Each structure stands twice: as C-alpha cells, then as structure tokens.
Amino acid sequence: PGMKAQGFGRIVNLSSIYGARGAENRVDYVTTKTALIGLTRAVAIETAGTGITCNALCPGTVPSPAILSRIEAIAAEQGVEEAQ
C-alpha cells in the first residue's frame, strides 16, 4: 500500500535457477522456488502501470552451508575427495 500511495516501488524476490529447472531429490526446494517465480509474475502483472516493478533474481548454486554439506555427503558416498 505504501508503494501504491507514492506511485513508486521496487520489489525484488530471491528465487533460484531451480525455480525454472527441476533437480533430482530436491522437490521441496524446487517447489518453493517455482512458487516464488509465480508470485513475482502475478505481483508484476497486478502492479503494472503503477510505477512499481517486481522482479525475481534466480542465481545458480552458491557455496552455502547446505550445498557444501550435500557435496561432502556425495563425495563420501562415492569415495572421492571434495574439490576445493
């Protein structure tokens, strides 16, 4: 409402490349990131012509603790060393 009142605003949602592509064994993550992209599209349409924009950033994999632990588990399972 504040953005509409001033006739200007920027909404930026953080999704993931997995919102546009699937990934094995990640149905929960893919579902939430896909939902964020859908929300972004809907809000962008609803605010079109009001001076408010809505976009989603969709980065690829980054070395977060969750990703690093997945890499570690895969390397251990396959009996290989992790590449740094």
Active site amino acids: 29
Q: Do the Cβ atoms of 46 and 55 come closer than 8 Å?
A: no
- What's the length of the chain? 84
Question: Measuring CA to CA, which residue among 62, 50, 51 is closest to residue 14?
Answer: 62
Q: Which residue is listed with tokens 């009142």?
A: 5
**Which residue, among 54, 45, 11, 15, has the nearest Cα to 32 in the 3D structure?**
15
